[in-house]
């Protein structure tokens, strides 16, 4: 049973190693790729926290889990009333419904900007909050608002009504920066009509835009899967080689040696030394049995020689 | 306490099946039917008369101690 135990241990160990690497490697690489995907469209991710009876809502764009935890701690936020789904990662929840009583809910919006140089933040008449790079601005009326913001200085909230993609919106906040903003926390008050929803901030992005963005970042995932298959294959070969080595060293080689010894005994070399008698497994049992037969033969033959 | 079965098992373990043949002959020559603590030394002495078997009997004596 000892040999079977060794072989089982080697096989299980080898297979576990293969499974671990084949599963863990793509997991880490895929997670990295997904994070990268989220970075690339991170500006459009919105997380909504802590709407209260005081008619305020804190909205944090770019829902980095560590940041959210720290933000909640720093701001004494203990409850989360609603979360907006991150469509790429698929973390979290649903739309947020404001149930406070006034006609218009005043919401305090806190937005963290990561690696964006020149962005604008829009609040739609529906309550949707959208953060986009400056480069994608198409609306002439919005450009007008932004020019107004720029001329009035940085970090200035500028409000007004404008038309954007055939839909009337209100509110614009422009952050002109020469250097990319990283982890900058911007706070702005916006009006959100009673009963409106804060939806995920993909807003005007079409499904096609989103799919393109995701597909663009699938290459590392494909690469990770291919690499894991190659590594898994190599590990399988390595495991087989190790198993062959163990089988050869522990079983085949001793059996060949014992077979040669038995043949020599049968040929009359009755004083030959039988190897592997010290082993504590099936090979040892076989070796000891051959040694007993050898001794019997030795005694019989020599006794007969004496009396012949 | 030594018994015939135990002694025979030990003998076969050390020298193989031929041990049974030699044990039978030794017991016949000593005119005994059973091996006991009293006669085991005599049996061993008889078996040691075979010069080839002598070296293996030493191993049995070692175990019996």
Chain A residue with Cα closest to B56: A295
The pLDDT of B55-62, averaged and rounded, is 89
Q: Name which residue leads in pLDDT, A61 or A152.
A: A152
- Residue contact A294–B56, C-beta within 8 A: no
For chain A, give percent helix, strand, coil, nearest 5.
50, 20, 30
pLDDT value, residue A119: 52
Q: Name which residue leads in pLDDT, A296 or A57.
A: A296
Q: Name which residue leads in pLDDT, A74 or A126.
A: A74
The pLDDT of A264-290, averaged and rounded, is 93
Residue-averaged pLDDT of chain A: 61
**Rounded to a whole number, what is the distance in Å from the CA of B48 to chain A's nearest CA?**
12
Across A55-59, A165-169, B10-14, least confident range: A55-59
Distance (Å, rounded) from C-alpha A57 to C-alpha A83?
Answer: 11
Max mean pLDDT among A38-42, A197-201, A211-215, A241-245 falls in A241-245
- Residue contact B17–A296, C-beta within 8 A: yes
Contact (Cβ atoms closer than 8 angstroms) between residue A128 and residue A203? yes
Q: What ipTM was estimated for this complex?
A: 0.84
Q: What is the pLDDT of residues B6-53, one digit of tens each?
A: 999 999 999 999 999 999 999 999 999 999 999 999 999 999 998 888
Q: Name which residue leads in pLDDT, B54 or A216.
A: B54
- Residue contact B13–A292, C-beta within 8 A: yes
Q: How sure is the predictor about A233, in pLDDT bands with cuts at 50, 70 and 90?
A: confident
Q: Is B48 near chain A, with CB under 8 Å?
A: no
- The two tokens of residue A17 are 């190693």
pLDDT value, residue A13: 79
Q: Is A284 near chain B, with CB under 8 Å?
A: no
Of A282, A283, A296, A281, give the one whose Cα is nearest residue A257. A283
- Residue contact B15–A303, C-beta within 8 A: no
Q: How sure is the predictor about A286, in pLDDT bands with cuts at 50, 70 and 90?
A: very high
Q: Is B13 near chain A, with CB under 8 Å?
A: yes
Contact (Cβ atoms closer than 8 angstroms) between residue A124 and residue A118? no
CA torsion, points A248, A253, A256, A260, in degrees to nearest 10? 170
Contact (Cβ atoms closer than 8 angstroms) between residue A61 and residue A201? yes
Report the percent of chain A where pLDDT is more than 70: 36
Distance (Å, rounded) from C-alpha B25 to C-alpha B20?
Answer: 9
Q: What is the pLDDT of residues A98-155, one digit of tens each?
A: 223 233 334 444 444 444 445 555 554 444 455 555 555 566 666 665 566 556 544 4
B13, B14, B18: residue with CB nearest A300: B18
Contact (Cβ atoms closer than 8 angstroms) between residue A255 and residue A53? no
CB atoms closer than 10 angstroms to residue A248:
12
Chain B residue with Cα closest to A288: B13
Q: Is A299 near chain B, with CB under 8 Å?
A: yes
The pLDDT of A33-50, averaged and rounded, is 43
The strand pair at A167-175 and A119-123 is best described as antiparallel
CB-based contacts of A285, cutoff 8 Å, min separation 6: none
Q: How sure is the predictor about A75, in pLDDT bands with cuts at 50, 70 and 90?
A: low
Report the percent of chain A where pLDDT is more than 90: 14
pLDDT value, residue A254: 93
Q: What is the pLDDT of residues A13-26, one digit of tens each?
A: 777 877 777 777 66
Res A80 pLDDT > 50 = no
């Amino acid at each position: 049973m000892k040999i079977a135990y060794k072989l089982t241990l080697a096989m299980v160990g080898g297979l576990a190693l293969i499974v671990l690497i084949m599963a863990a490697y793509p997991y880490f690489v895929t997670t990295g790729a997904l994070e990268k995907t989220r970075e690339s469209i991170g500006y459009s991710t919105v997380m909504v926290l802590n709407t209260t009876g005081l008619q305020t809502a804190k909205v944090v764009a770019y829902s980095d889990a560590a940041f959210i935890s720290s933000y909640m701690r720093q701001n004494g936020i203990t409850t989360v009333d609603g979360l907006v789904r991150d469509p790429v990662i698929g973390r979290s929840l649903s739309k947020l419904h404001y149930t406070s009583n006034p006609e218009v809910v005043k919401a305090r919006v806190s937005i963290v900007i990561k690696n964006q140089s020149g962005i604008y933040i829009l609040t739609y008449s529906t309550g949707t909050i959208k953060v986009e790079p400056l480069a994608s601005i198409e609306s002439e009326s919005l450009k007008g608002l932004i020019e107004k913001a720029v001329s009035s200085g940085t970090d200035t909230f500028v409000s007004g009504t404008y038309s954007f993609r055939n839909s009337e919106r209100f509110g614009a906040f422009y952050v002109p920066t020469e250097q990319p903003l990283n982890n900058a926390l911007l706070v702005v008050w916006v009006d959100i009509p009673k009963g409106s929803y804060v939806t995920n901030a993909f807003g005007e992005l079409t499904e096609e835009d989103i799919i393109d963005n995701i597909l663009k970042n699938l290459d590392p995932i494909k690469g990770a899967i291919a690499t894991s298959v190659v590594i898994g294959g190599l590990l399988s070969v390595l495991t087989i080689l190790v198993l062959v080595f163990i089988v050869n060293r522990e079983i085949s080689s001793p059996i060949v040696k014992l077979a040669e010894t038995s043949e020599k005994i049968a040929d009359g070399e009755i004083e030959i030394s039988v190897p592997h008698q010290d082993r504590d497994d099936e090979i040892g049992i076989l070796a000891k049995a051959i040694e007993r037969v050898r001794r019997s033969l030795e005694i019989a033959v020599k006794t007969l020689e004496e009396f012949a | 306490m030594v018994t015939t079965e135990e002694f025979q098992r030990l003998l076969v373990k050390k020298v193989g099946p031929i041990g049974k043949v030699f044990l039978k002959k030794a017991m016949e020559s000593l005119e005994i039917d059973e091996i006991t603590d009293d006669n085991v030394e005599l049996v061993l002495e008889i078996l040691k008369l075979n010069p080839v078997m002598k070296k293996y009997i030493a191993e049995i004596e070692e175990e019996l101690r």
